[in-house]
Each structure stands twice: as structure tokens, then as C-alpha cells.
Structure 1
Amino acid sequence: MNRPAANPILRIDFQKRTSAPCARSLAQEAPVAFEYNGLGYAVMMASPQDLIDYAVGFTLAEGLATNAGEIETIEVAEVARGTIVRIALPAERGNMLQERLRLRLVEGSCGLCGLESIEEVLRPLQPLAHTPAISREAIAIALANLRDHQPAGRETGAMHAAAFCDGTGRIVAAREDIGRHNALDKLVGHLAREAGDPATGFILLSARCSYELVEKTVRARCPALVTISAASDLAVERAAAARLTLVSLARSDAALVMNDPYGCFA
């Protein structure tokens, strides 16, 4: 789904002080519109691949369904300059859909506006109760193999990856997208569709850790999250409140354990 650059690209070498033409693929970014029961809900900028997984993960992350089985149908339609994903939910989810649509209208005008929107963003998460299957060795193994699961990232240098790893560090599944949130939604959607149990391992992200990624991981009921870049203060706060094991700045030689409620790294 990546595209060759339309314009000539020049590679410059600062040390050698040389320049030369080079070929380069570009990560594809396009609008993906989500419609629920015929109602426009959101337009996301995403990489238009694995859109069924994305639709399931996004629906679960938004709280519009509690499991993949509640989604009746998903239809993906390519249109001029983008894609429409039409999702059908049961009639009994109508009140939740209308409430989420109302809140999205409030949030969309100027970001997060007013006390109600702030309370919605910081609403309590259901705490996790599973001791995660994670260790120093497992993180190191997953990090060493992540690049093998990033074909689009290797080709473009502009794609994030979200991977689900088992307790040994083996990467069970991975998804890529130009947006880190989208990549995680795609991964969660894949696990939900394939009946994968997020409680049996940990999620590894090639990104910084913002609070939204913590919340998506908790809602997926995965007990541990590892990110290659640093975590924000709110991400750490939300992880602690939800009893999520959180590791950030994970590198081949070291990592920062930001929250360890089960003593996995004691």
C-alpha cells in the first residue's frame, strides 16, 4: 500500500558532503471515514490497509461495542480520495452511539472543551487483575525481532508498529499504520477477530506512550505495555490507576519500568 515518491528525492550526506538521487517509497496516508448505523462518526487519517481489523479495534476502543461479536457487519468502500467503513451495530447500542456522537461534536469544535469533555477523557478505567506474562528477557527478544514485522516501516521509514508478544517474547501478531493509535487499534481488532487473548502476553509499540495508548491497552484487557519511546506523565498516572504494567524507553540494552504493580521486575 506504499507508493513511490512522485517527485525526485536527493539524498545528502553531511559527512561526505555529497548528494545523489535516490528512490524512496512513501507511507500512504488517506482519510478513513467511519459510519455507524448510517451515521457519520469520525474521519481518521490512516494507512488504508487492514481496515477490518482497524474497524473492530476502533469500535472497541470507542466503547461502541464490548466484543467483536456485537458488530453485525463491516463494509469497506473505496471512494474518491479515501475510504468509507460502514459498521452495523445492534439496535440496543443506539443510545451509546448517540451519546458518543454528541460528545464527539463537543470535543471536535476546539479540542477538549468544558468540564464534561475533560471528565469523559479522564473517566475511570476498569483495573486489570492479571499478572502479566512479561520479563526482561521477553522484552529484549521482542525488541530484537520487531523490525522483521515492519515491512512497511522498513520500506518507508514512516510507519508505526504495534505487536502482541507472548510471555517468551515471540511476536504473535503485528500491525502497521502511519498513526500509532491506528496501529494499536488494528492490532486489538485483529486479536478480537481471531479470539486471541490479550491477557496472555504484552503489547510492544514503536512509539512514545501517550495516555490514549495506555487506555486502549487497558480496554483491550492486556496487562502490560512496552513502548520504544518515553511515556507522558498522564500515561503513567493512568497506568498506575488501572494496574497496567508499563515499560518505556525500551532499548536493546535498557528500559524504564514506569509502573510495576505485580512486581514482575523486582
Structure 2
Amino acid sequence: MARPLSRSLPGLSVQSDGQLSVRRNLPEEVPVAVVFDGTTQAVMMASPGDIADFAHGFALSEGFIETLDQVESFEMVEHEAGIEARFWLTGDRAKALETRRRKMMGPVGCGLCGIDSLEEATRALPVVTAEPRLSVCEVAGATDALRALQPLHDQTHAVHAAGFLVPGQGIVLAREDVGRHNALDKLIGALALQGIDPAGGAFVLTSRVSVELVQKSAMAGCPVLIAVSAPTAHALRLADQAGITVAAFARGGGFDLYSHPHRITTETPDVAR
């Protein structure tokens, strides 16, 4: 039986003009253990929907697998305490499992918890060379378009989303989660399972652009990140090194354009490179 994505719970709204009993739809979150060949490699708190997408996206974006062909079998096992996403892999993936090993539960909003070394937190990334072209209008309207594809947010006003924008087609796929990095992993997994190449478009995010989101985009091979909020300075340095275009503060009909601006068809971009 599928777990509910949200629950209606009672509370007391305290305002300047008095108090009022309320009921709010609040998002659920559940521990999800990602298990490879019988060994748990990560336990993350996530929204309990689209778990197969999340597990496959996490496996790809964190380097546990390089392609879906390396998955021999996959199953999800429900427990009272949470969900196990179990992978059995083909070939020798022991080195990849060791280098990307995680030991600790990652709280919401943290995409690097449990990494064994500082070097792994800033691991070398592949350079993304795909060259899709997006218009200024497509980028400026991307987060508004994504907002229309967030049913769980409509219920709770408390979750993030990630969408895939294809030039000339709009956002063709979106996923939601309490964690911004989980939402992106769900999207990456959904794209892989549906045979859609991330190189052909842009990831659209309802969050800031932090280091782990750039890392996951580079591992997925997506050349453009569009976000409603700010990037961190280090995320921009990584994006520049990885060949990724970053458009941030994308809201209200405009955006800030940063690294590798040539993929956005604006006449005279004023950017920092």
C-alpha cells in the first residue's frame, strides 16, 4: 500500500489579532535506505513518492552506477520504519561503492552528509559539452512553468521541485520532494528510466544552487541549471569548471546569467565568467 505524501494535522494559529484552531496539510517524509548488493550505502529522509526514481537517480548522480545497464535487478521493500531500495549490480562495482560510500543518515537539505573525506565532497566532475539553446523567454518563464507542476506543493506549501525543460517543448517532466537534492535525484532517475537524455535541456529548480546540485547535474550530463534563488560562490566555480550554464534568481520575468552564457540566446549578456 502506498504511503501518503501528506497528512492533515491540527494546530493552533497564533496571530496579532487572536488565536484560531487550524488543520494543515503537511508533507510526510520517510527514511529511504539505498542498498547495493546487500550493503546499505545511504539512508536519506525523503518524500515517500517516486522512490524508484529517487533511488536510480541517486545511484547515477552519486557515481554508484554509470548506466542503468549495470543494474541487474531492483526492488523496493516496505518496512514499518521506512523503505529499502535494493539494487543488485552486474560486474565489479566494488571500487565505485567504496569511493562513494556513505555511513550516516542525511537530514533534509543536506546532500553531503556522511561522506568519508573532504576530497569526496569536492570530487572531480565530468565536463558537460552538450549545447542546447534556450531563449530568454524560456529561461525567464521556467520557474513559473514548474510551479504549475507541483501538486504536493499546492497541498502543503513545504516541498521543493525539479523539472526538465526542453527547448521548444517546455517542462516535460517534474518531481517533488521535501529535499531539494532529493527532488533532483528523482528527476534524474525518472529521465533515465524513461530514456530521456538530460543533455538536451535544462534542470529547473525551486531552490538555491548549491554545490551538490551542480555535482549531480554534471554527473547526469545536464548542461543548464535554472533556479529560482541564489547560487553559492563555490557552486558557480564548480559550474564553470564543469561547463554548466547557471541562470539564477529566475523569477518575475527575469534572471541572472552566470557561467557559460552562450547557451542562452540573449544578444548582449552582462555576465561573470
**Counterpart of 1:249?**
249
Q: Which has the higher strand share?
A: 2
Distance in 2 between the 1:80 and 1:107 partners?
Answer: 17
- TM-score, scaled relative to structure 1: 0.89
Paired position in structure 1 for 2:5: 2
The aligned residue for residue 144 of structure 2 is 144
Give the match for residue 184 of structure 1: 184
Aligned pairs for 1:185-224 (under 5 A) are 185-224=185-224
The equivalences for 1:21-40 within 5 A come to 21-40=21-40
Amino acid paired to 1:76: M
Q: Report the count of equivalent residues.
A: 258
**2:13 touches 2:22 (CA, 8 Å); kept in 1?**
yes
The structural deviation recorded for 1:261 is 4.6
Question: 2:228·2:251 contact (CA, 8 Å) conserved in 1?
Answer: yes
Q: C-alpha offsets along residues 28-74 of structure 1, whole Å, 9 cap, x if unaligned?
A: 11111111100111110001110111111000012111112221211
Distance 2:234 2:53 in 1: 27
Q: Provide the alpha-carbon RMSD of the alignment.
A: 2.3
Paired amino acid for 1:2: L
The structure-2 alpha-carbon separation of the partners of 1:206 and 1:86, relative to structure 1 and needing over 3 Å to count, comes to same
Alignment partner, residue 67 of structure 1: 67
**2:239 equivalent in structure 1:** 239
| Structure 1 residue ranges without an equivalent (≥5) | none
3-state SS in 2 of match to 1:259: coil
Aligned to 2:172: 172
Q: The residue matched to 2:55 in structure 1 has which SS? A: helix
Identity of aligned residues (%): 37
CA distance in 1, matches of 2:114, 2:156: 33
Alpha-carbon deviations, 1:8-42, whole Å to 9, x = none?
Answer: 2234555xx24433331111111111111001111
Moved more, 215-224 or 123-132: 123-132
- Cα distance between partner residues in 2 of 1:218 and 1:196: 16
Distance 1:258 1:31 in 2: 36
Gaps of 5+ in 2: 107-111
Residues 1:177 and 1:21: Cα distance change in structure 2 (over 3 Å): same
Q: Which moved more, 1:167-176 or 1:223-232?
A: 167-176
Secondary structure, counterpart of 1:120 in structure 2: helix
Question: Quick one: which amino acid aligns to residue 182 of structure 1?
Answer: N
Alignment partners' CA distance in 1, 2:262 and 2:182: 29
Secondary structure of 1:262's match? helix
Q: Are residue 55 (structure 1) and residue 58 (structure 2) matched?
A: no
| 1:192 Cα deviation from its structure 2 partner | 0.5
Q: Which residue of 1 aligns with 2:41?
A: 41
| 2:98 alignment counterpart | 98
- Alignment deviations for residues 209-257 of structure 1 (CA, whole Å, 9 cap, x no partner): 1010011111111110011111101100000101100011111232111
The structure with the largest helix share of the pair is 1
When structure 1 is superposed on structure 2, of 162-171 and 54-63 the one drifting more is 162-171
The offset of 1:200, in angstroms, is 1.3
Cα distance, 1:91 vs structure 2: 3.5
